[in-house]
Amino acid sequence: SVKDSGRGGLAVHDPHAADGAADRLRLLQELRTALAQGEFRLHYQPRVRLAGGATTGVEALVRWQHPERGLLGPGEFIEVAEASGLIRELGAWVLDSAVAQTAAWNAAGVGVQVSVNISTRQLADPDLVLLVTSALARHGVPASQVVLEITETALMVDPETALSTLQVLAGLGMQIAVDDFGTGYASLTYLQRFPVHELKIDRSFVSGVVDSAPDRAIVGACVHLARSMGLVCVAEGVETDEQRDVLLSLGCDLAQGYLFSRPRPAGSRP
Ligand code: C2E
Ligand code: MG
Ligand code: MG
Ligand code: MG
Q: What is the pLDDT of residues 186-211, one digit of tens each?
A: 788 889 999 999 999 999 999 999 99
* Inter-residue contact 242 to 250 (CB < 8 Å): no
The closest ligand to the CA of 237 turns out to be: 1
Confidence of residue 267 (pLDDT cuts 50, 70, 90): confident
* Inter-residue contact 44 to 61 (CB < 8 Å): yes
What does the pLDDT read at residue 269?
66
For the segment 75-81, the average pLDDT, to the nearest whole number, is: 95
Helix axis angle for 87-107 and 21-36, nearest 10°, is 40
Which residues, 6 or more positions from 35, have their beta carbon under 8 angstroms from its beta carbon? 86, 89, 90, 93
Q: Whose CA is nearest to atom 12 of ligand 1?
A: 237
Element (H, E) at 10: strand 10-12
132/174 Cα distance (integer angstroms): 10
Question: Above 60 in pLDDT, residue 246?
Answer: yes
Q: Whose CA is nearest to atom 7 of ligand 1?
A: 237
pLDDT tens string 85-97: 999 999 999 999 9
Average pLDDT over the chain, rounded to an integer: 92
Q: Whose CA is nearest to atom 25 of ligand 1?
A: 61
CB-defined site of ligand 1, < 6 Å? 45, 61-62, 73-75, 78, 91, 94, 117, 119, 149, 179-180, 203, 236-239, 256-258, 263
What does the pLDDT read at residue 222?
96
Share of the chain above pLDDT 90, in %: 84
What does the pLDDT read at residue 20?
84
Measured in whole angstroms, the distance separating CA 63 from the mean position of its chain's CA atoms is: 13
128/113 Cα distance (integer angstroms): 19
Confidence of residue 6 (pLDDT cuts 50, 70, 90): very low
217/243 Cα distance (integer angstroms): 14
Higher model confidence: residue 64 or residue 17? 64
* Inter-residue contact 179 to 189 (CB < 8 Å): no
Q: Whose CA is nearest to atom 33 of ligand 1?
A: 117
Distance from residue 43's CA to the centre of ligand 3 (Å): 15
Distance from residue 199's CA to the centre of ligand 4 (Å): 12
Distance from residue 61's CA to the centre of ligand 1 (Å): 6
* Inter-residue contact 263 to 59 (CB < 8 Å): yes
Confidence of residue 5 (pLDDT cuts 50, 70, 90): very low
Distance from residue 45's CA to the centre of ligand 3 (Å): 12
Residue 232's DSSP bridge partners are: 198
135: alpha, beta or left, given left = phi > 0 and alpha = psi -120 to 50?
A: alpha
What does the pLDDT read at residue 21?
84
